[in-house]
Amino acid sequence: MTERFDVFNPGDAEAAVSAAPILDQGSADPFDLTVPPQATVSLEVDQQARIPPGIGEAWVLTSTNGVPVAVERVIVSRPPTPTRGVADATGVPAPARRWVFAAGTAAQGADERVVVFDPGGAPARVSVVASGSGQAVTLRSLVVGAGARAAVDIGELDRGATVVIELTSNVPVVAEREQVPAGGAGLSNATGIAGQ
């Protein structure tokens, strides 16, 4: 499995970018990137010695000189891993208290989970609600520690048909949905639609 960030600078001034990993276990220093005007610079995460293999991570990328950039994460999974495919997701400009995922499913053996990252200084009290067939059901309520991540396995909670997921939190968080079809062929990562 490979993972990289592509950082694009659409402007006319050089961008200075800090890419800070937030590891599930341990810590790692940020990476400093210089992105020339109208250019893309890639950070190959899986090639970095300070990122331990097998340890989950969230990332905060910041333009330290104020030059706007766009960020995309690309994950490629191939044998011998159990999943195969390419997933890309754009970064979000800011955390939010509400996230909505338009459609997804854990039916027919698919793997689906929502990952929540709390980048702030206070714990997040999070509620995950699934809506399908005209009915809304609270799948899980959980607390996500400050600067930590937590995953909610939708398949463990609801093996139903296609569902809309709504996530609410008392403090701003970032939420992403990961999906893998039955058999492991295909891979999807997408941040939700941020609400108020």
At residue 148, the pLDDT reads 94
Q: CB count, 10 Å around CB of 176?
A: 21
3-state secondary structure the chain: CEEEEEEEECCCCCEEEEEEEEECCCCCCCEEEEECCCEEEEEEHHHCCCCCCCCCEEEEEEECCCCCCEEEEEEEECCCCCCEEEEEEECCCCCEEEEEEEEECCHHHCEEEEEEEECCCCCEEEEEEEEECCEEEEEEEEEECCCEEEEEEHHHHCCCCCEEEEEEEEEEEEEEEEEECCCCECCEEEECEECC
Amino acid in position 181: P
Name the band, by pLDDT with cuts 50, 70 and 90, for residue 159: low
Note the pLDDT tens digit of each residue in 103-151: 766 666 677 888 999 999 999 999 998 876 667 778 889 999 999 999 9
Domain 96-194 in the same topology as domain 2-77: yes
Name the band, by pLDDT with cuts 50, 70 and 90, for residue 190: confident
Q: What value does the mean pLDDT of the chain take?
A: 88
Tokens coding 130: 């699934």
Q: Which residue, among 23, 178, 2, has the nearest Cα to 75 in the 3D structure? A: 2
Which sequence spans correspond to the domains of the chain?
2-77, 96-194
Question: Looking at the domain 2-77, which fold is it?
Answer: Hypothetical Protein Tm1070; Chain: A (2.60.290)
Residues with Cβ < 8 Å from 88, sequence gap 6 or more? 72, 73, 74, 75, 189
pTM of the model: 0.85
**Quick check: 154 pLDDT over 70?**
yes
Alpha carbon distance, N-terminus to C-terminus of the chain: 35
Name the band, by pLDDT with cuts 50, 70 and 90, for residue 161: low
Name the band, by pLDDT with cuts 50, 70 and 90, for residue 50: very high
One CATH from 3.40.800.20, 3.50.50.60, 2.60.290.11, 3.40.1410.10 for 96-194: 2.60.290.11
Tokens coding 120: 């702030």
Rounded Cα distance, 12 and 1, in Å: 34
